[in-house]
Every structure is written in C-alpha cells, then in structure tokens.
Amino acid sequence: MVRGLSHYIGGRLVEGTSGRFGDVFDPCTGDVQARVPLANQDEVRQAVAAAGEAQAGWAGTNAQRRARILLKFVDLVNRNMEELARLLSSEHGKTLADSKGDIQRGLEVVEFAAGAPHLLKGEFSTDAGTGIDIHSLRQPLGVVAGITPFNFPAMIPLWKSAPALAAGNSFILKPSERDPSVPLRLAELYSEAGVPDGVFTVVNGDKEAVDALLEDPWIKAVGFVGSTPIARYIYATAAAHGKRAQCFGGAKNHMVVMPDADLDQAADALVGSGYGSGGERCMAVSVAVPVGEETADRLVAKLQDRVKGLRVGHSLAPDSDFGPVVSAAAKERIEGYIRSGVDDGAALLADGRGLRVEGHENGFWLGPTLFDHVTPEMAVYRDEIFGPVLSVVRAAGYEDALRLCTENPYGNGVAIFTRDGDAARDFATRVDVGMVGINVPIPVPLAYYTFGGWKASGFGDLNQHGADAFRFYTKTKTVTTRWPSGIRQGSSFVMPEGS
C-alpha cells in the first residue's frame, strides 16, 4: 500500500494542494512506498507566515525554558528510536545500525544546543568611557530555513534546527523528497516536547519550494547541505536576497597511508569509511593514497581480501554491512563512473555491478567497487561519485600525497594513517582541507566543535554546530549606556573617544 505524506505546518500535518507529488521508493525492493506532496509558492508563503507569527512568542520564552523543551525532545526521540530508525532505513536503504547512528549524531547537537543559556550570553564592559557602560545582546534572526539532503534525513535536519530553535528562531525545514518521513516524524516529536505550533515547520518540495524560500523576505537565513553546484546556487541566490547563507557541498575525501602505518588498521578504516552507507556520505573516504609502491601493493592486497567478504543486503538484515543506494538514478550514475574508470585505464579489482540480492531483485543494488592505479585526470578521481567506489591513487612520496590532497578542488575531510607524530603534525598543519583525521578515517567533529569544509565543499563564513551555529542564527546588538550624573556637559560636536 502506498502511503500519502503531508507537510507539517502550524503544529499539524497538512495535505498538499499543489497537485504535484513525488514518489518515495523502498531502495531494497524498488517499489514505491509513499507519495510526498511538492509545495508550490503559495504553500511556502503560508508556511512562512505561520512561522513568522509564532516566532515572537518563542523568542520571548527564556532560553532556559527553550533548552528544557529540547531536552524533552531528546528523550522522546530516544524512546522512539527503533521506529525512527526503521522508517529511515526503509526510505534511504542504510542499515538499521547505521540509521540509529544517523539519529544519534543528530541528537548530540540537540544536547549541545540545550546549552543555549550560556552560548547566548553577551558581553559587558563597565566604564568603557567616563560614566559609560557597553553591553552586547545576542538576539534571534526571526524565521530561518534549512534545506537538507537525502543521505542523513535525521542528522542534518537536527544539526540545522536545534541551534536555530534554541536561539529563539522559527525554523522551516525543506527535507529531501526522497526520504521525508523521518523529518515529518521529528516535527511531531518537537510538538510533543512543547515546541509551539508554527515554530518548527516541514515543507516538502523540489526546486519551486527551494526558490520560494530563498526569495521570501521573511526568511533571514538559509542553511544547506548537498552537492556543490546546488550549494553555489543557494549561496548566491540567498545572498542576492539579503539572507545569511551557510552552504555545504560535495567532497572527495583522501586517506594518506604512510609506510610506517599499521596497514591492517588502515585497510579496515578504508573499507568501513569507503563502503559504509553505500558510500553515500559527504565524509566517506573515496580515495586511498598509499605512499610508496611497497606500501601500495601491501595495502591493496589487504583491501581486496576485505572487499571479498563484504555483505550487501537488505537494510533490516542484521548481517548486512551496507544496503542499496538510494535510487535507480543513483545506481545508473555510479555504474557510469565505473565504466569510465575502466575506459580510462584504471585497474578494476572489484566490480560492484550486476549484484543481485535474492528475493529483492528489483532493489537498487551495487556491490563494493575497488580501483587501483587511478590517476588525477580520471573522472573516478575528479568527481564526487557518492557510491561504494574506492579509488587507489599511488603517491611516490609524502610531499606528493600532501600535494594531491591540497590541490584537489574539494576540501571537506582528509585523513592520514601513520605512527610518526612529526609527519602527522606537519600534515594537519599544511593540508588545505577543513577537517583532518589522524588515524581516524571519518573526522566528523563532536557537537561542541564545528563541522565544515573548505574550497568547493563549503560556502559561507560560519560552520555547522558548535559555537558557530549560535553565531549564525543570532544577530549581535551593542548597547552603549550613560545614566545622568547631575552634571551638565553641554553639546559636543567631536567624535567620542574611548576614554
């Protein structure tokens, strides 16, 4: 049975009125399991208006009370974890354990955002001038929006919404139309926790809804995670309409393996970070960079052994290492990159095409693919594939490996595996990438640090979560005060000085 989905506006589920719908697939079977309404401009305007009406009252709720509501929300999500994870797996295709990790990493940011009473404190200076005090206030922007991707349908909406709500804003979420059910369920749980009607909104849609949000004058800031071309578009369009923008794009994450590294540890890390979640992660390692031919030969042999043992299966099967990719179009695109790698002369050591899972033959299946002798000119190296494809690019020496990572147009994440502290310190200092792992393959910072890439991976001055989130979702007001002392000083026509 195909479910009908809705928007979430004004604290309740609202049916779409545009007459346009998108299909939501079960990636394990290839079947349509739901239809999601695609909002038009009028529906977006109605949602924004409801959010605007609700925001002043929410901003007037003191930060500690807002934090208590967020903590109640965390408890509700934990109590509904199994339901949410199964719903997520059914629409995305990632394993149940991976779905729970998706949700948990989102909750960590909600827990951090509950520290809003401290994070929203301003500054105060007494006697900044004769009889003059100066203090600053952090105030909410108003109505803000988040446009989030299919690959983390719980984590990224929570990363975007929790700091925005904690700071006193209303938040409008436009999730991916490929897996919208978890965001809608999170909206219900926000309401159950005590978030007032209209303060958290979900508007489903495609480019029409996105453009309506970008152009609406009520929307003061927009956060986005997705591909680099769309990140650039949203950043430029938001700026043209006078909005703050925080946009994160694609990635081509490298992992340098030095000759002194523990190669078993490195191989395990590459397999987990390269193929986990079917490679559909912006922090997935898609390029292994062994230093020296001997290191490369030994590492590739270990990778081949591990790839042979990987189990691709139904997302709810407990023994699956990873499930299907999200859509038939994604599968076709990834297979095209595999063909191009072969045509360009890379050595195909493991071919994920043609995989069939018994009982689910129409699912969007791809097995792990491993290329060796990839060069920087090849499309499998240049482009973000976003699938279970790992490329080995051999480096003659450390400086060559460092240069490869630094010169890549993306700058999201990078890792180095080594026992040499001096090499690791030098690499972390010099590499032109936003997030660095040392013997850590997926260097996603914890919630109280910020997450963000450089170069073509990130657009905007402030990162996600951590203190940057509160800087992004607030504006600073500075107040200069002098109380009458009974002494008249007369008019002054000179620029005031600091003392």
For residues 403-417, average pLDDT = 98
Q: Which of 281, 255, 251 is nearest to 440 (CA)?
A: 255
For residues 164 and 424, give the distance between their C-alpha atoms in angstroms, rounded to a whole number: 36
- pLDDT at 486 (0 to 100): 66
- pLDDT at 485 (0 to 100): 76
Taking the alpha carbons of 212, 214, 217, 219 in that order, is the dihedral positive or negative? Answer: positive
For residues 64 and 87, give the distance between their C-alpha atoms in angstroms, rounded to a whole number: 32
Q: Which of 179, 173, 142 is nearest to 58 (CA)?
A: 142
Q: Where are the domains of the chain?
A: 3-249+457-479, 253-438
For residues 314 and 359, give the distance between their C-alpha atoms in angstroms, rounded to a whole number: 10
Q: Is 28 a catalytic residue?
A: no
The structural architecture, per CATH, of the domain 253-438 is 3-Layer(aba) Sandwich (3.40)
For residues 11-34, average pLDDT = 98
Q: Which of 162, 63, 153, 61 is nearest to 110 (CA)?
A: 162
For residues 170-184, average pLDDT = 98
pLDDT at 171 exceeding the cut of 80: yes
* Cα-based angle 471, 473, 476 (whole degrees, multiple of 5): 55
pLDDT at 499 exceeding the cut of 60: no
- And the tokens for 287? 């390029």
- pLDDT at 395 (0 to 100): 98
Q: Is 55 left (phi over 0), alpha (psi -120 to 50) or beta?
A: alpha
For the 3-249+457-479 domain, the top CATH level (class) is: alpha beta
For residues 82-92, average pLDDT = 98
Angle between helix 96-113 and 155-166 (nearest 10): 10
For residues 266-284, average pLDDT = 97
Question: Do 180 and 153 touch, CB atoms closer than 8 A?
Answer: yes
- pLDDT at 487 (0 to 100): 62
Q: Which of 156, 177, 130 is nearest to 465 (CA)?
A: 156
DSSP letter for 291, please. Answer: B
Q: Report the percent of the chain where pLDDT is more than 90.
A: 96
- The count of other CB atoms within 10 Å of the CB of residue 142 is 18
Q: Which residues of 321-360 are buried (b: 16+ CB within 10 A; e: fewer)?
A: bbbbbbbeebbeebbebbeebeeeebebbbbbeebebeeb
What is the model's pTM?
0.96
Long-range pairs, 233-239, Cβ under 8 A, ≥24: 234/147, 234/210, 235/459, 235/460, 237/211, 238/214
For residues 162-173, average pLDDT = 98
Q: Token pair 């600073």 is at which residue? A: 476
**Cα–Cα distances in angstroms (integers) from residue 68 to residues 51, 65, 107, 116, 304, in the given order:** 21, 5, 14, 10, 50
User: Which entry of 28, 247, 282, 405 is annotated as an active-site residue?
Assistant: 282
pLDDT at 98 exceeding the cut of 70: yes
For residues 251-275, average pLDDT = 98
